[in-house]
Structure 1
Amino acid sequence: MSHDRSAVPSQVDVVIVGAGITGLAAAAWCAEHQVRAVLLEKQPEIGGTSAMSGGWFAFSGTDEQQRRGIADHDATFVADMLTASGGVADPALLEAYVREQHDAYDWMRGLGLEFDVVKLSSGQSVPRSHHAPIETVLAALLARVEAASTVVLRTGARVVDLIDDGGAVAGVEVELDGGTRQSVHAHGVLLGTGGFTRSPEIIGRYAPRQVDAMPYGGLGNTGDGLRFAAARGAALRDMEYVSGTFGSHPETTIEEHELLTAFYMGAVIVNVEGRRFVDESASYKTLGAECLEQPRQIAFQVFDADVRAQSQPGVPLSDIDALEDKGHVHRADSLRELAEAAGIDAARLERTVHEYNAVVAGDRSDAFGRTGLCNGVGRLVPVAKAPFYAYPAKTLMTSTYCGVAVDAVGRVLTESGAAVPGLYAAGEVVGGFHGKAYVTGTALSKGLIFGRVAASHIALEAAAR
């Protein structure tokens, strides 16, 4: 929904830049607490990358987990995130996330949102990914914002610079549709601008090996927030770990989030030569980087009828039915016929699957160290029951998972650790949280959690002045 006719106030307590889940959550918090705020989105519509996501949120110790008999603990969650990061994530951010998650979870439930699926996915030792239709989530946040008299949402509003007041950030300069410029003064500015998946220049600078990944994410994800913060001396974190996500069909379009993780259900991943090249239970960021090193930068998720039967219609990452209906999944009664249909070396695929099934049977060790379905969890299953399936997939640059350094309340930090006065950031524009790999569901949850935290901290500082 666009809001291009909304008048933009010249003075507020909080300016929020970007109307993805981070900005909407922050604006909703302001709405509930009668805080004067303006939410500025440069695109014609709200949502950004969040609207294109699968709708997964990562929480621990929830009612949904308990009903399914899933034992989970906050300490385990922190440990999983730190492990997935390769040990480089900021523990203060992870601990703040887990500390604040329960309030965020309760708040979402209070908005009438429900989680229909809980599943095990990348970086998790227990099922922790909670699914809610993302369009429903964003609509609930938007409704809370629109009901408030203290919050203005304006689309088609491109922030072009931050206002400086003696070294402190005191608002933004915004360009509205038609070219009109306006100053908006505030006690604090929250950057919820997303990453830079749509900026080949920035990707080329920090992750040249990833420039061939298919670009995805919101069309406005061009690194605006990164540039604004860096110009104010912000430190950058995790830029060296930018990596696309494996599992998207080569014909994936912006209209639909198409990503399949059949490898977490038991599929093997092979290249066009029919060879495996990676431990399929690893993070799909790791898989994405490995896929880019393969011939034609493509790989195939190969699985059998038992994995096909695990399809969950309507559930992102697991909806094989929908992908088959679109003609994106090859199907055959034998591995040789499957290979011929998909363009894979047939003899080598047969040999690869035979060798893999011997691993599953315990007759040999796996050359790539695979011991489980996902993150080392789950019993391996053979690829043995006809019919057989192959899903061609490439590396999709869904998110960049790196950016400006922040503290646990979202204040942007310089390399010395000092806060940049008046400047906050949350969501994908932030670095120091994911490190080398991504735990499924933490991106949306991180934006929602820290968007609310940062907005509340700005409001507290404004009230104290």
Structure 2
Amino acid sequence: MGTTDSSTYDAVVIGAGISGLVAAVTAAEAGLSVALVEKTGAIGGSSAMSGGFFAFSGTEEQQREGVRDSAELFLQDMLEVGGYANDESLLQAYLAHQADLYFWFKSKGVEFSTLEISSGQSVARSHLSAIRDVLRHLTKQFLEAGGTLLVNHCVTELVRGDAGRVEGVVVTTPDETRVLNGIGGIVLASGGFSRGVDLLKIFAPEQLAGIPYGGLGNTGDGLKLAWKLGAGMADMAYISGTYGSHPETGPEFHELLTAYYMGAIIVNINGERFVDESKSYKTLGSECLKQPEGLGFEVFDSVVRAKSHPGVPLNDIGMLEDIGHVHKADSLDELAMVIGINAARLQGTVERYNEAVAGKRADDFGRTGLCNGAGELLPIQTGPFYAYPAKTLMTTTYCGITIDTDARVIDVSGDVIEGLYAAGEVTGGFHGKAYMTGTSLGKGALFGRLAAKHIAATVAS
């Protein structure tokens, strides 16, 4: 393997998902020379495999739909779904800058086609984007702004100067090893470790039972690089997959159904409920892993089926029915036979649930709403009836390096590691115990943008 001389840039960004692309474009627009380094052969990472939702409040889309939202309600929802384990300073930073990010996306021609209420939200806050188009468009703008995109380049080391400041990275390709210097700073946007078996064995071995998902490069490289320099860690105890993916789910497309937020219940192979279905789908994911075979069936009737949103991730029941992943029957007994569970127990479970919906008894698991306490519960009583078998999908790890509100990496002593920034799924502290739909892409893009702005200010000074 050959070695070449180093190259120098104002900023080096590691990882070409949403956080890395937004950081790279923002830095390039500020007039910086930028190298965007991606270890796989394509841009996108886990972002390209996501549903494409961004969480914003106070938007034109909310106003058109008559949704009443506020920064205070947004903050409260994020704290509640995160079990108050979040770093509130990061949430406040998100709220302070989310409007800027929203309008920046709009200025790039990004359209949000659908507004949905989903996990962790008390009002509709999930703005749907055509995420793969967004990623391609940002890549095009980065290159047009003079940026350098290096695919199939793996970062193997962070380089520190004599004063301890991170000044560059060592990258390898099949042909060479070289150093990329970053005068203003290095941004880690390398994603989580949903495919990092070694790290999952350390931090969350029980999650290895989930279906592996996420970007093929999401093996925790960036986290290990920062950890080696003494970076702090946050939220490592809260790693959980997401409930709602068919057992045959693969990387081809984003298959995740949240019919439970539309009125379905979830039962195990014994025909019994085991959780309040309105909770975060990360919480549901952890509970499902405890069930026999790690399997839960989303059970619903024709009323919920009619709420299917064609073309909208998480809610498109029709598409999943078309590919044979949703089972249908005229009665609950027949449905139980089709999916192979005890008919009498399923019938009894539904009867108890319907009694709770009617106010005749307390719900066995304290469910009071469709999603995060919002929405009126619906009885399951109008045939035909449906079932979607689903498991826990290890999409992203939602934990990692500690950062401050400028996206600077903080070490185990609480001090800034000068020259090193991080954004997106390689970071921890934002979500806490669980997360709200749309805040994953949202925080990645927002803190990527903040990192780039801080680097631009550093270079300018």
Q: TM-score range by the shorter chain?
A: over 0.9
Partner residue in 2 for 1:392: 389
Partner residue in 2 for 1:34: 31
Residue 144 of structure 1, CA deviation: 1.1
Q: Confirm or deny that 1:310 pairs with 2:297.
A: no
Letter matched to residue 42 of structure 2: E
Residue 70 of structure 1, CA deviation: 0.4
Matched ranges for 1:137-286 at <5 A? 137-149=134-146, 151-166=147-162, 167-176=164-173, 178-187=174-183, 188-286=185-283
Q: 2: CA distance between counterparts of 1:223 and 1:381?
A: 42
Query: SS state of the match for residue 50, structure 1?
Result: helix
Deviations 1:387-434 (A, max 9, x none): 000000000000100000000011100122100011110000000000
Q: 1: CA distance between counterparts of 2:114 and 2:32?
A: 34
Q: Give the conservation status (yes or no) of the 8 Å contact 2:6–2:178.
A: no
Q: Give the conservation status (yes or no) of the 8 Å contact 1:26–1:454.
A: yes
Partner residue in 1 for 2:328: 331
Q: Give the conservation status (yes or no) of the 8 Å contact 2:117–2:123.
A: yes
Partner residue in 2 for 1:20: 17
Q: Confirm or deny that 1:354 pairs with 2:335.
A: no
Identity of aligned residues (%): 55
Q: 2: CA distance between counterparts of 1:354 and 1:362?
A: 12
Flag the 1:91–1:9 CA change in 2: closer, same or farther, 3 A. Answer: same
Flag the 1:173–1:33 CA change in 2: closer, same or farther, 3 A. Answer: same
Q: 2: CA distance between counterparts of 1:272 and 1:17?
A: 43
Partner residue in 1 for 2:132: 135
Deviation larger for 381-390 or 24-33: 24-33
Query: SS state of the match for residue 324, structure 1?
Result: helix
Deviations 1:366-403 (A, max 9, x none): 01000000001110001111000000000000010000
Q: Give the conservation status (yes or no) of the 8 Å contact 1:9–1:38.
A: no
Q: 2: CA distance between counterparts of 1:102 and 1:214?
A: 35
The runs of 5 or more residues in structure 2 that have no matched partner are none
Q: 1: CA distance between counterparts of 2:40 and 2:372?
A: 37
Partner residue in 1 for 2:369: 372
Letter matched to residue 19 of structure 1: A
Query: SS state of the match for residue 209, structure 2?
Result: coil
Residue 168 of structure 1, CA deviation: 1.3
Letter matched to residue 158 of structure 2: L
Q: 2: CA distance between counterparts of 1:363 and 1:8?
A: 75
Q: Give the conservation status (yes or no) of the 8 Å contact 1:274–1:346.
A: yes
Partner residue in 1 for 2:118: 121
Flag the 1:81–1:168 CA change in 2: closer, same or farther, 3 A. Answer: same
Q: 2: CA distance between counterparts of 1:186 and 1:49?
A: 25
Q: Confirm or deny that 1:102 pairs with 2:96.
A: no
Q: 2: CA distance between counterparts of 1:109 and 1:402?
A: 29
The alignment's TM-score, normalised by the length of structure 2, stands at 0.98
Residue 359 of structure 1, CA deviation: 0.7
Q: Give the conservation status (yes or no) of the 8 Å contact 2:242–2:394.
A: yes
Q: 2: CA distance between counterparts of 1:47 and 1:459?
A: 24
Matched ranges for 1:359-438 at <5 A? 359-438=356-435
Letter matched to residue 444 of structure 1: L
Partner residue in 1 for 2:317: 320
Deviations 1:210-235 (A, max 9, x none): 12111100010000111011111101
Residue 363 of structure 1, CA deviation: 0.8
Deviations 1:121-169 (A, max 9, x none): 11111110110111121122112112112x1011101111111112111
Flag the 1:409–1:308 CA change in 2: closer, same or farther, 3 A. Answer: same
Partner residue in 2 for 1:4: none
Q: 2: CA distance between counterparts of 1:206 and 1:405?
A: 16
Residue 82 of structure 1, CA deviation: 1.1
Query: SS state of the match for residue 447, structure 2?
Result: helix
Q: Give the conservation status (yes or no) of the 8 Å contact 1:8–1:152.
A: no
Partner residue in 1 for 2:79: 82
Residue 8 of structure 1, CA deviation: 10
Count the aligned residue pairs: 456
Q: Give the conservation status (yes or no) of the 8 Å contact 1:8–1:38.
A: no
Query: SS state of the match for residue 8, structure 2?
Result: coil
Partner residue in 2 for 1:3: none
Residue 76 of structure 1, CA deviation: 1.2
Letter matched to residue 153 of structure 1: L
Residue 31 of structure 1, CA deviation: 2.2
The runs of 5 or more residues in structure 1 that have no matched partner are 1-6
Query: SS state of the match for residue 222, structure 1?
Result: coil
Q: 2: CA distance between counterparts of 1:355 and 1:262?
A: 19
RMSD (Å) for aligned C-alpha atoms: 1.1
Deviation larger for 378-387 or 454-463: 454-463
Q: Give the conservation status (yes or no) of the 8 Å contact 1:115–1:130.
A: yes
Letter matched to residue 233 of structure 1: G
